[in-house]
Amino acid sequence: MIVSAMLSYSSSFPFRRTLQIFLLFAAISLSCVVVLREVDSLRDFPLFSLTTFSDSSPVSLFLPSLDDDYNEPFSDTDEFGLDNVLKDAATEDRTVILTTLNQAWASPNSVIDLFLESFRIGNRTHQLLNHLVIIALDKKAFVRCLDIHIHCFALVTEGVDFHSEAHFMTPDYLKMMWRRIDFLRTVLEIGYNFVFTDADVMWFRDPFPFFDMNADFQIACDQYLGIPDDLSNRPNGGFNYVKSNNRSIEFYKYWYSSRETYPKYHDQDVLNKIKYEPFIDDIGLKIRFLDTAYFGGFCEPSKDLNRVLTMHANCCVGMKSKLHDLRIMLEDWKRYMSMPPYVKGSSISVWRVPQNCRYGNHF
């Protein structure tokens, strides 16, 4: 009986082995079909638009796809939705740091890398990266953001291409600036305070202790006249701290709508006009202008590295000039940080910039 059973098992073994191999290949084939269907389903993912934006062109969230030519927006229900990204990045008091990025500033060793480096080498600024959200204005900027940072949001405007360098006062530049104002208003409406910073602003110290907590809207200056509430100060929209409340929301709505009152003006020039209008007093908005001794720039550099918080590569035309001077600025800061404490405190260290950037050339 035992011999018979062994012969029976031996004769059926080739069949069993063949069956096992067949089932294995069947399982692999089925898995491939499922994966291909999942990838294909991404191409038909339902569209989503931020309907809160007041502009007629819908603004949507997109994600990178397997097809380089594919650029359809994806749903806000995923991990890259605006509310999820802001929630993950926000401080306990619902404050986020925001910057925008397009392809021109996103390439390796370009502006965004210098911007992030400033946080890493600054004095108590490294932890602030946990609260920074990079707003990508095109697909390649978003893909680069995902490679270099933890909090990324992709913002696209149908019919507008923001990927290339937007030269000062060109139509694309104006569209980009006004889209930024409208987006920031949305951030306020969903309940987040923010510091908006251009990516060519270098962060060397934590600025939050220096903000006036009684003000609604605080903004850096191209020219600071010495009094923080003097409306004659010349503001620069590349750096501001805004608290989310009814006053700031109404202000951003009015600011955005004023683009129609002052066509062909950019947001900064329009701000210089509307800051005097009775509407600002009517809503009770408290505006403060930030001292360039702390929040400097190439227009009016901070003169003392012992006091500087941020430095902006404003008053500068052209990417090459901007990158050249930003790199020198970071070298100056590293040299300052390497000094012994008694040397830092006994002398006023100054910048070697601007060099290639020139005063009076705004960008």
Domain count, the chain: 1
Domain of residue 234, residue span: 59-64+79-346
| Strands 95-101, 132-136: pairing kind | parallel
pLDDT tens-digit series, residues 155-183: 976 655 544 444 444 566 677 788 899 99
Residue 345, pLDDT score: 77
Indicate whether 38 belongs to any domain.
Answer: no
pLDDT tens-digit series, residues 220-238: 999 999 999 999 999 999 9
Indicate whether 53 belongs to any domain.
Answer: no
Handedness of CA 163, 101, 302, 329 (dihedral sign): negative
Show Cβ contacts of residue 339 under 8 Å, excluding neighbours closer than 6 positions: 349
Indicate whether 106 belongs to any domain.
Answer: yes
| Strands 95-101, 193-197: pairing kind | parallel
Low-confidence ranges of the chain (pLDDT < 70): 1-79, 157-173, 347-348, 359-363
Indicate whether 101 belongs to any domain.
Answer: yes
Indicate whether 210 belongs to any domain.
Answer: yes
Cα 344 to Cα 339: distance, rounded to the nearest angstrom? 6
Residue 86, pLDDT score: 98
Query: Residue 124 sits in a domain of what CATH number?
Result: 3.90.550.10
Residue 248, pLDDT score: 98
Q: How large is the angle between the packed helices 139-148 and 111-121, nearest 10 degrees?
A: 30
Q: How open is the CA angle 200-94-49, to the nearest 5 degrees?
A: 75
Cα 177 to Cα 220: distance, rounded to the nearest angstrom? 16
Indicate whether 50 belongs to any domain.
Answer: no
Indicate whether 358 belongs to any domain.
Answer: no
Residue 308, pLDDT score: 96
354: left (phi over 0), alpha (psi -120 to 50) or beta: beta
Indicate whether 11 belongs to any domain.
Answer: no
